Structure 1
Amino acid sequence: MSTASEIDRSDSISGAIADFAVAPVSGEAFELARIRLLDAIGVALAARNTPQAQSAIAGATSFMGEGLCGSLDGVVGRSPYGAAFINSTLIHALDFDDTYPAGAIHTHPTVIPAALAISDMKGASLPDLLEATAVGAEVACWLGKAIGRDLQDRGFHTSAVLGSLAAVVAAARLLKLDREKIVDAIGLVGTVGAGTWQFEESWVKNWNVAVAAQSAIGAAIAASTGFKGPLQPIEGQYGLLATHLDAGRLADTSTLGDPWLSADISMKRYGCCHFLQSVVSCTLEAASSFRASDIEAVTVKLPSELAMRCVALPIEARKAPENSYRARFAGHWLVARGLVDGDVNLRTFDEVSLDGPLVDILDRINFQISDFASYPANWPAEMEVTTKDGTRRTFHNDGRASTFAKSNLHAVEDKFRQNICYSGINVTTAEQIFDVLERPDATLADLWVALKTDTPPSSKVEE
């Protein structure tokens, strides 16, 4: 076993991350963090009445104690762990949160809940919160690009395993830890990062990211009191690379923050798995060209075996999702729904029963793997539609036009307003949140005041 004296902290991945954790945040990175927080709040408010959100709220309220922290259901006075459980679940429940495609990782549901809880505990300013989430998201993207896809191929949930390492960086920055304690915090959370791809028909994706955020909070607090952590939780003999990947390779730490990768984080246009974003765009284009009743066959091409596992297999579950949550990963059902309705929005998933037109077309929809040169930097899709009279047409989406990234961030504000409308919250709340996020002197307390509502939303999602 290596001791602290045998390891030069400057040569470790944790040391490089610790140096980056306290580095300045550019104006562009700060503004991108602001728009990502806006997006996360919007999708969380839209998810408040989902069964998994209500379960998390009940569990946190009953068993996770009281404290100083606020949660995105409009309640203040929760414990850090309770708030993180709720906030992670709300942000991720609709699968409408962010994705960094090159690393196959969500950053919102781990980094933001951890940062919110620590900010409440420390009375941090909103600008401090945004800087912390900017740094944490960048670490998530860097780790995701370096090793995320290999983790997924082995069956690990990248957003949870690497998300905890990113979230602890945001938490450590808000706690103003010195370099040595940041390394300790990374080491502590690195030994307990968990989350596998054994999702089945469950809510475990939400659970995984919540536990990652909670672990990050605990590790940062422990490190702040002097609790020591291992120095090489990633590249050590029994670190992440060895235990999860059978690899001892060291990431090139000189690339961290040069350039910032998080500028390429995408925020979804549709409330479903990121692999379905391009598929939905193709579907809606096809629906504008053909009536569903005239279609003989549909072939959807996805970029990888992972994409097939996420949205096309097992086939029967993707044709007949058992609930609204599973419908967000049901490629066959969603293509049929889009072709029949000519639209896909959050209300698409409120009712997942199979009616006549859907049943009629479902068996004529097939998915297959194809090569796409732009994957994995982007997640494209292609759809070939053949009509009953023999007409054949191909629709293609490169994965960029179907999400909101650096080039079209203005569209996130429209998405936010639509989420507010769907949530049942008064539209004035949206403007209050906009105002808070734009004010340089705003505090997190101001945000909780803006989010507080007296009337809960009506039920929209059936269990």
Structure 2
Amino acid sequence: MTGAVTHSDVTRTETVVGRIARLADDVRRRGLPPHLRADVARRVLDVLGNSLAATRQPTAGTVAAVVREWGGPADATAIGTGLRLPAPSAALLGGTLAHSLDFDDTHLPSVLHPSSPVVPAALAVAEATGAPAPALLDAAGVGVEVAVRLGMGGYDRALGNSVFFERGQHATSICGAVGAAVAAAVVRGLDADGIAHAAAIAASMGSGLLEANRTGGTVKRVHCGWAAHAGVVAADLARHGLTGPPTVVEGRFGFLQAFCGEHADVDAVVAGLGEHWELPGIFFKPYPCNHFTHAGIDAALELRARGVDPARIAEIELGVPGPVLRTIAQPPEEKARPRSGYHAAFSGPYTVAAALLAGDGPEHGLGLGHADFTDEAAADPDRLALAAKVTCVADVRCEEIFPEQFPAVLRVRLTDGRRLEVRVDANRGGPGRPLTPEEHAAKFRLNAEPVLGSDAVRAVSDAVLAWPERGEIAPVMDLVRGA
């Protein structure tokens, strides 16, 4: 069976997936408002930069080797490999690259990194179908919105945390698979029924466990790749006639009940859908490490700016929201001596020590950079000695703010007995402290220039930022394909 098919009209009911599909279909036909398209263009550029920076990571080589073995038609770009692959394979590699350095955007309070699974899926399908750039932005934007809305459905205000996270589930890859399917279906030109079925199919495909954050392993880097792959496949399956349940989100055995149980909040998924957009409030990351560590880094940089000499520090206390401790502070012995640069990116003690010692180094003007998360940097004796002085604790005020922000307080006792404190309630990169256009440009340059060179970096940046009005995808993807 080939080509588009007619589905049963699941969207005539008031099911959640039906309402999502109607919004996505409206965006497909009418387009996003200009300010949202511009926001998505910045996110696409952010994903491309993060992906290019990750091309030399071992996990990228692993996934590239697998998709090479799979083979297939040369429909879409496998970033940094010189290859063109089938769209699902390109999405698998693209999503893996986008998430590999933990430099991807974050939505609060769902604690999702939505662009990493959604944008690679939309890019792969758009390139394979020859879709124009504005249509790509529309599809990616609504896919990101769907992903974070599902994540919000798993946020328990009484608990003060994501239920997905409490249960050890990676909400980014679980919800991202559905968002990626919506984006892929919109690019493919599926109608509301087809989009609904694509989303409902992908709801059976998302997965991801967070244990690697605690005790090691590189599998988490592939989570967003698999979600992007699943989204592309789900849209294709819907296009060829596979169907999903109309109550896939809210049903007794549906998405939210299965993952979050009685703590699920179906209303949060659809409240103000199409009227209020979460999209522009999603945080961009200034540092290539777990977002829970960022406020601690900001506090450490502030202490350094005040002239605090790390050699004169006797002890450090890092206060954070209680739920954050499991990711950046436990087990304590693992976090004080991270086993690799990747694990250092999930360590509160290490990131505080790195910021106090490295500060705003020569790599760029944002703070910590990729050089702070190499295996060599993670094994640096000076950083480890300072990290050993850090004790991580739950802080009441931080818990009151979390997870609308990821706050931190840093308290330092110096060898002369003086005590200093810096409290950071709002993260850089969000609506309250947005990155400037110059900082966005610096981040993309940091990520892409070692791979592309300065001329290509400017060409890619200029082209993508013009996509809300016009442009073709192919010339940009030709530049990021690499050798």
TM-score by length of 2: 0.88
1:190 equivalent in alignment to 2:216: no
| Counterparts in 2 of 1:384 and 1:358: CA distance versus 1, 3 Å | same
1:461 aligns with: none
- The answer for unaligned runs of 5 or more in structure 2 is 1-6, 156-161, 361-367
Letter of the structure 2 residue corresponding to residue 416 of structure 1: F
| CA-to-aligned-CA distance 1:413-432 (integer Å, 9 cap, x gap) | 221112223x3431111111
Letter of the structure 2 residue corresponding to residue 169 of structure 1: V
1:39 aligns with: 46
1:88 aligns with: 95
**TM-superposed deviation, 1:355:** 3.8
Greater displacement, 435-444 / 13-22: 435-444
Mapping of residues 364-375 of structure 1, within 5 Å:
364-371=389-396, 372=398, 373-375=400-402
* Equivalent of residue 442 in structure 2, options 393, 400, 414: 414
* Equivalent of residue 266 in structure 2, options 210, 232, 250: 250
* Equivalent of residue 246 in structure 2, options 231, 250, 259: 231
Greater displacement, 386-395 / 287-296: 287-296
2:310 aligns with: 292
1:427 aligns with: 454
| Counterparts in 2 of 1:254 and 1:281: CA distance versus 1, 3 Å | closer
CA contact (8 A) 2:11 2:21 kept: no
Task: Say what the alpha-carbon RMSD is for the aligned residues.
Answer: 2.1
Mapping of residues 309-320 of structure 1, within 5 Å:
309-320=326-337
Letter of the structure 2 residue corresponding to residue 159 of structure 1: T
Percent identical across equivalent pairs? Answer: 27
1:436 aligns with: 463
CA contact (8 A) 1:98 1:108 kept: yes
Name the CA distance, whole Å, in 2 between partners of 1:106 and 1:221: 24
| CA-to-aligned-CA distance 1:300-351 (integer Å, 9 cap, x gap) | 011132x111111111111111212111112212222222223421111122
Question: Residue 391 of structure 2 aligns to a residue in which SS?
Answer: strand
Name the CA distance, whole Å, in 1 between partners of 2:301 and 2:274: 38
CA contact (8 A) 2:95 2:227 kept: no
**TM-superposed deviation, 1:403:** 5.4
Name the CA distance, whole Å, in 2 between partners of 1:191 and 1:175: 20
Name the CA distance, whole Å, in 2 between partners of 1:249 and 1:46: 37
Name the CA distance, whole Å, in 1 between partners of 2:456 and 2:436: 21
Mapping of residues 139-154 of structure 1, within 5 Å:
139-148=146-155, 149-154=162-167
1:201 aligns with: 216
TM-score by length of 1: 0.92
| CA-to-aligned-CA distance 1:153-206 (integer Å, 9 cap, x gap) | 122110011111111111111111111111111111112221122324112222
**Count of aligned positions:** 449
1:169 aligns with: 182
1:447 aligns with: 476
CA contact (8 A) 2:153 2:266 kept: no
Greater displacement, 76-85 / 434-443: 434-443
| Counterparts in 2 of 1:18 and 1:294: CA distance versus 1, 3 Å | same
* Equivalent of residue 276 in structure 2, options 249, 256, 259: 259
2:286 aligns with: 269
| CA-to-aligned-CA distance 1:251-284 (integer Å, 9 cap, x gap) | 2524213211111111111100000111111111
CA contact (8 A) 1:404 1:412 kept: no
Letter of the structure 1 residue corresponding to residue 283 of structure 2: S
Mapping of residues 20-169 of structure 1, within 5 Å:
20-24=23-27, 25-73=32-80, 75-148=82-155, 149-169=162-182
CA contact (8 A) 2:77 2:481 kept: no
1:363 aligns with: 388
Letter of the structure 2 residue corresponding to residue 433 of structure 1: V
CA contact (8 A) 1:120 1:444 kept: yes
Greater displacement, 270-279 / 429-438: 429-438
- The answer for unaligned runs of 5 or more in structure 1 is 455-463
Question: Residue 417 of structure 2 aligns to a residue in which SS?
Answer: coil
Name the CA distance, whole Å, in 2 between partners of 1:79 and 1:6: 30
| CA-to-aligned-CA distance 1:358-377 (integer Å, 9 cap, x gap) | 34323221101112233211
1:349 equivalent in alignment to 2:373: yes
1:383 equivalent in alignment to 2:383: no
CA contact (8 A) 1:139 1:256 kept: no
Greater displacement, 103-112 / 136-145: 136-145
Letter of the structure 1 residue corresponding to residue 321 of structure 2: P
CA contact (8 A) 1:264 1:405 kept: no
Letter of the structure 1 residue corresponding to residue 49 of structure 2: G
Letter of the structure 1 residue corresponding to residue 326 of structure 2: R
| CA-to-aligned-CA distance 1:221-260 (integer Å, 9 cap, x gap) | 1111222211111111211222222237532524213211
**TM-superposed deviation, 1:379:** 1.0
| Counterparts in 2 of 1:68 and 1:100: CA distance versus 1, 3 Å | same
Letter of the structure 2 residue corresponding to residue 128 of structure 1: A
**TM-superposed deviation, 1:76:** 4.2
1:457 aligns with: none
| Counterparts in 2 of 1:249 and 1:89: CA distance versus 1, 3 Å | closer
Letter of the structure 2 residue corresponding to residue 16 of structure 1: R
Question: Residue 408 of structure 1 aligns to a residue in which SS?
Answer: coil
